[in-house]
């Protein structure tokens, strides 16, 4: 039974098990759901990192404006 820590190769192997003639293909659907959830987790991590970078950029912008005002 694969989980979120499973490698893509293990998920592929699990997806290809079982009856391929069955339209519902429960193994394939399960593996696909896990892969989609893993992608969502990575997207959330990337969004969090982008937020931190945006905050840092804004702080640098404010510091630059402060230096320009201080020099004037």
Tens of pLDDT, residues 5-22: 999 899 999 888 877 777
H helix intervals, the chain? 8-16, 26-71
Q: Are 19 and 53 in contact (CB under 8 A)?
A: no
CB 35 within 8 Å of CB 19: no
- The domain ranges of the chain are 8-71
**pLDDT tens string 24-49:** 888 889 999 999 999 999 999 999 99
Q: Which tokens go with 43?
A: 């997207």
């Amino acid at each position: 039974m694969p989980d979120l820590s499973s490698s893509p190769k293990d998920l592929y192997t699990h997806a290809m098990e079982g009856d391929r003639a069955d339209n519902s293909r429960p193994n394939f659907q399960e593996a696909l759901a896990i892969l989609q959830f893993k992608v969502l987790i990575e997207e959330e991590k990337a969004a969090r990192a982008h937020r931190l970078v945006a905050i840092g950029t804004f702080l640098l912008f404010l510091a630059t404006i402060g230096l320009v005002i201080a020099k004037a």
